[in-house]
Amino acid sequence: MSIIENHETVGTPFCSNPKLSARDVGVFYGDKQAIFDVSLDIGSNEVIALIGPSGCGKSTFLRSLNRMNDTIDICRVTGEILLDGENIYDPKVDVVPLRATVGMVFQKPNPFPKSIYDNISYGPRIHGLASSRVDLDEIVERSLQRAGLWTEVKDRLHSPGTGLSGGQQQRLCIARTIAVEPEVILMDEPCSALDPIATAKIEELIDELRENYTIAIVTHSMQQAARVSQRTAYFHLGQLIEVNNTDMVFTTPEHQLTEAYITGRFG
């Protein structure tokens, strides 16, 4: 499984209505290159799944889509990533509005050690999205409702968010993200720390959210990718091997590495 020289991504990495477009993206940690020349479009209102074996760079690629990698000192990104046609790595671009537009949900639920209400209202408050207390209450309720958490927590909005169960915490984190009204949501293995029932709820939620948001989800589970996504991108050792409609990837993969992966020969 060595790095393939001068490879071309097979399948259909580009689409007609891209929300985000990556062009020749490379990511370096110090001297070590983690991502090699990835070009990929993420279409509006689609769910795209990023799959691949551990350490293939899918999370790294995801984190470069809203510049979360900036928080790591030694990390460097080359190439360009366009959000609505604008390069997010342009020096003029401020990460704050970028991240407000491209939100992120993490692998481990990470609610702030604050009340449920404060967790949700944190984003709108710092961004000045609500003009009044009533407004803010409304945003909190709407976000929790969309995340399917409202009925479970409406009576204890002011108890700590860390007191919820794992699945509830993750939905709280999703609610927290959509409270800012982003356009794209990045999800980094959002269900890896959850039990099957909680996972099912989150998957259901992702399906509903597709209506309003563009979603990129990194997942370790091929079943999950098959259930929630329309397109699937397969990463291998930092390279994007194949992008295709999810059905195609799982039934008739074009590339032999993709086939090897989905048939379980490595992973």
Partner 1 sequence: MTYSTLLIAVLIALGGAYLLGRNRARTLSSQGIKMHSLATHYGALVALWTTLPPLLILLLWALLEPRVIDLILTAQLPDSIRAGGEAEIRLALSKVYNLANDSDLMGQQGLLGPVAEHLQALQARVTLLRGGVIMSLLLLGGALTWRRIQPDLRARSEVEGIVRILLFASSAIAVLTTLGILASVLFESILFFQKVPVTEFLFGTSWSPQVALRADQSGSSGSFGAVPLFTGTLLISAIAMAIAVPVGLMAAIYLSEYATPRVRQLAKPALEVLAGIPTVVYGFFAALTVAPVIRGLGESMGLEVSSESALAAGLVMGIMIIPFVSSLSDDVINAVPQSLRDGSYGLGATRSETIRQVVIPAALPGIVGAVMLAVSRAIGETMIVAMAAGLAANLTANPLDSVTTVTVQIVTLLVGDQEFDSPKTLAAFALGLVLFVVTLALNYVALKIVQKYREQYD
Partner 2 sequence: MTDSAMSTRAKVEKSMKKRRAAESRFRTYGLLSVLFGVLCLVVLFGNIFSKGFSAFSQTVLTTTIHLDTDYLGVTATSDPQELRNADYEGLIKQYLKDTYEPSGRRERRDLYGMVSVGAAWQLQDMVLENPSLLGQTIHINMTMDDDVDQWFKHDRGTANEALRFSEQQLVWLHDWVDSGALHGRFNTIFFTNGDSREPELAGIRGAITGTFLTLLVTFLLSFPIGVSAAIYLEEFAPKNRLTEIVEININNLAAVPSITFGLLGLAIFINIFGVSRSTPLVGGLVLTLMTLPTIIISGRAAIKAVPPSIREAALGLGASKMQVVFHHVLPLALPGMLTGTIIGMAQALGETAPLLMIGMIAFVVDVPGFINDPSTVLPVQIFLWSDSPERAFTERTSGAIMVLLGFLILMNTAAVMLRRRLERRW
Give the x-and-dash track for 180-219 against partner 1 (CB under 8 A). x---------------------------------------
Alpha carbon distance 175, 43 (integer Å): 22
For residue 181, the partner it binds in partner 1, partner 2, none, with Cβ less than 5 to 8 A by kind, is: partner 2
Residue list 175-194, contact with partner 2 (CB under 8 A):
180-183
Alpha carbon distance 94, 89 (integer Å): 9
Q: Work out whether 96 is an interface residue with partner 2 (CB under 8 A).
A: yes
Alpha carbon distance 25, 80 (integer Å): 6
Residue 204 backbone dihedrals phi, psi, to 5 degrees: -60, -45
Closest approach of partner 2 to the CB of residue 126, in Å: 8
Residue 263 backbone dihedrals phi, psi, to 5 degrees: -90, 0
Q: Work out whether 230 is an interface residue with partner 1 (CB under 8 A).
A: no
The C-alpha R_g of the chain, in whole angstroms, comes to 18
Burial bucket for residue 207 (CB in 10 Å: 0-12, 13-18, 19+): middle
Give the x-and-dash track for 128-147 against partner 1 (CB under 8 A). --------------------
Residue list 210-229, contact with partner 2 (CB under 8 A):
211-212
Q: Work out whether 99 is an interface residue with partner 1 (CB under 8 A).
A: yes
Nearer to partner 1, 23 or 127 (CB): 127
Binding residues for partner 1, rule CB under 8 A, total: 29
Residue 5 backbone dihedrals phi, psi, to 5 degrees: -75, 140
Alpha carbon distance 172, 117 (integer Å): 10
Alpha carbon distance 20, 102 (integer Å): 10
Residues that bind partner 2 (CB under 8 A): 94, 96-97, 100-101, 126-129, 180-183, 211-212
Residues that bind partner 1 (CB under 8 A): 66, 68, 71, 73, 95-101, 103-106, 108, 110-114, 122-123, 126-127, 173, 176-177, 180
